[in-house]
Amino acid sequence: MRRCVLHYVDSDIFGGNEEAALQLFGSLDRARYEPVLLHHGETGIALLVERAAKLGIRTRAVPRVGRRGRLAGVFRLWQAVRAERPAIFHAHLSWPLACKYGVQAAWLARVPGIVGTAQLYLELRGSPHYPLALRPHRRIIAVSEEVKARYAEDLHVPTRKLVVVRNGILVPPLDPSSDAALRAELLRGRPDYLVFTPARLHPQKGHAILLTAAAQVSEATFVMAGDGPLRTELEQQARTLGVAERCVFLGYRADVPALLAAADLVVLPSLYEGLPVSILEAMAAQRPVVATAIGGTDEAITHDQTGLLVPAGDSTALAIAIRRLRADPALAKRLAAAGRQRVEREFSSARTASRVMKVYDEVMLEVGAPSAPGI
């Protein structure tokens, strides 16, 4: 008996949370658990809906619950959940109180199993202990040990409800070639060492630190793919620092694999993370990586083995790491090869999907329903 899993995303932009959900969708065993995507209609997540449809996943849009008419909004969500009759409602949480109205609707609809994936921990104002929005979950899947610890220690979520399943990606075949024309376009006579950062232009991602480091590495070109609320501010910072000619803001790009292939180095200077998919993609592309030594990221990168880690917020340390890899191609090659091997071994989407389905099986047994065939 195949069971319906209703995946709910309440975001209005496409980011790491949505990418991780898509990676999961692509590897689930649909003979056992059939995914359906419930979402809101904002244009910012059109890419999520489009890519889900290409994976053969049915999607269902429902109006967002507004500040006014909350009861009516939750009722519409309840109707959508009831219409699908899911065995499991899977909320994809970009922060602890994400998806709260969908979870409430699923609870009211008496969905047997409510599961959440916690992609990121953010401190809540007033630090409420075990928020009501999280209580209906039978399991909360933390994407890293760091996220699990924060949910347990800061939010007092019972440890019996918490399980770590790290993000995974569909690891592509290794292609050593790169698009020479694309690289030339990105460099355009700038320094011939391309540092690439794929991340939303949001305070979390630490671009301001990256630009300050760029001012200390005159022999590199810094290319940033992603859009967000800080773009105008960051472009002004680049001009103020005198690095605007060596900093390329691409905006949103759908060709990240090609950009990775064109890069010499990938840098992610985040201030906090869950377990960033962008790091896994860089490692899978066999590119050396410099990232910040923060919880989650340090579960993918081991310093001096699969990449380099620097203290968060430290532009000087970041610049030193970039210069070190530029000056030592053999080290960069060794780190890149080890990173690729680690992703293949530990961070494949098939491995992630298998562990998520095991969570589904456990929840089905808990609620007294037979699990999907194939255990």
pLDDT digits (tens, 9 = 90+) for 153-204: 999 999 999 999 999 999 999 887 788 999 999 999 999 999 999 999 999 9
Average pLDDT across the chain, whole number: 95
Residue 288 sits in a domain whose CATH number is 3.40.50.2000
Mean pLDDT of 77-96: 97
> For residue 97, is pLDDT > 60?
yes
Do 133 and 279 have their domain in common?
no
Do 262 and 360 have their domain in common?
no
* Residue that the structure tokens 């340390």 belong to: 317
Do 135 and 223 have their domain in common?
no
Cα–Cα distance for residue pair 102/216, rounded to 1 Å? 47
Measured CA distances, 352 to 142, 150, 306, 309, 356 (Å):
12, 21, 20, 25, 6
Instruction: Tell me if 139 is assigned to some domain.
Output: yes
Number of helices and strands (H, E) in the chain? 13, 13
3-state secondary structure of 56: coil
Do 126 and 207 have their domain in common?
no
Domain around 257 = 180-346
Q: CB neighbours of 125 closer than 8 A, spacing ≥ 6?
A: none
Instruction: Tell me if 91 is assigned to some domain.
Output: yes
Measured CA distances, 131 to 4, 67, 99, 104, 150 (Å):
27, 19, 13, 13, 13
Instruction: Tell me if 175 is assigned to some domain.
Output: no
Q: Per the structure, how many domains does the chain have? A: 2
pLDDT value at position 164? 98
Confidence of residue 372 (pLDDT cuts 50, 70, 90): low
Do 111 and 217 have their domain in common?
no
Instruction: Tell me if 58 is assigned to some domain.
Output: yes
Do 40 and 15 have their domain in common?
yes
Cα–Cα distance for residue pair 115/35, rounded to 1 Å? 13
Do 161 and 202 have their domain in common?
no
Do 87 and 17 have their domain in common?
yes
